Amino acid sequence: MDDPSIAPRALSQTPAAPALLTSLGRGWNGLEAEFRRIPAGRTKVAATLSHRLGVHYGAPVNAHCRCDGRVHRRVQSHGDADFVPAGLDGEWQDDADCTILRLSLSAALLRQTAEDLGVNPDRVALAPRFQLRDPGIEHIAWALKVELETTSFTDRLYADSLGVALAARLVHLTVGQPGGASRPSRQTLSPRQESRLLAFIEANLGQKLSLADLAAVAGVSLSQLKALFPISMGAPVHQYVLRRRVERAKSLLLAGDLPISQVALEAGFAHQSHMAHCMKRVLGLTPRRLLAMRQ
């Protein structure tokens, strides 16, 4: 029976309006995201093969939720998250329009992350959770929202890393921190792994790189690479690659053999303005300012 405190409205499988922001076409691995306006009333979201998180954004609403026989009534506030495991559908009834960030995590990525953490994937017994408050999940969610808001090209390494972090957080919340299992057996990359990995990055700065590509080169899992790379190189993978691209662009600009637009492509940026934004952030200088200082 519907919540009598909320006036009944038409049931819809999905909102008619398109997503305000979406990760479609960005090439993310095992992770999808969309920022969507949900109309007041009842909305049913059909089961999928992925695990889903809906993180509430903005003003609170009164919500009534159903999933897998569970019912929950609450005031849904900014940062509250609902988790629905793969294979389950859910129904929400809100008394006002609201905005949510929907995250879909592949079952394969969650299973692989659990194994990387030393957890038997069969122990990860996922169940629906309503109004979940977790600082780690909220931090990852809003970082992903910022990525969605970025209209210029961004390297998918960062989104890949956030996907692994989200999977690890869900494993932790489900089974607790495994005793020592989350620590990789090797505390740093070996010299051979470092050499192969850095050579691959340098040779492919002009191409799109993924966390899976780099993990395969190093011969480690995604979670291990995410944990070991900062220890060995002093920065997360995506930050290291960005800095190397900026340094490559700086060298090419100072050499003076290529126009700025071509330098951007050679260094792995989508276009000239993307390169200028990243150089300003890393070096504190735009390409034109750098060229002016050379003269």
User: In this predicted model, what pLDDT tens digit does every residue of 110-165 receive, in sequence order?
Assistant: 999 998 888 888 888 889 999 998 999 999 999 999 889 876 656 788 899 999 99
Structural domains in the chain (count): 3
Mean residue pLDDT across the chain: 86
pLDDT of residue 33: 96
pLDDT of residue 41: 93
Confidence of residue 285 (pLDDT cuts 50, 70, 90): confident
**36 plus 154 within the same structural domain:** yes
Cβ contact 118:90 at 8 Å: no
pLDDT of residue 185: 45
Domain of residue 115 covers: 21-175
- The verdict on residue 38 lying in a domain is yes
DSSP codes, 218-272:
HTS-HHHHHHHHHHHHSS-HHHHHHHHHHHHHHHHHHHT-S-HHHHHHHTT-SSH
**Token pair belonging to 187:** 């505390």
**222 plus 264 within the same structural domain:** no
**44 plus 98 within the same structural domain:** yes
DSSP codes, 142-209:
HHHHHHHH--S---HHHHHHHHHHHHHHHHHHHH---TTTTS-SSSS--HHHHHHHHHHHHHTTTS--
**95 plus 41 within the same structural domain:** yes
Per-residue pLDDT tens for 33-59?
999 999 999 999 899 999 999 999 999
Residue 285 CB coordination number (10 Å): 16
- Could you identify the residue written with the tokens 């919500």? 63
**Token pair belonging to 277:** 């934004």
**36 plus 150 within the same structural domain:** yes
**35 plus 167 within the same structural domain:** yes
**153 plus 196 within the same structural domain:** no
pLDDT of residue 14: 43
**Token pair belonging to 73:** 């009534």
In angstroms, the first-to-last Cα distance of the chain is 75
pLDDT of residue 17: 66
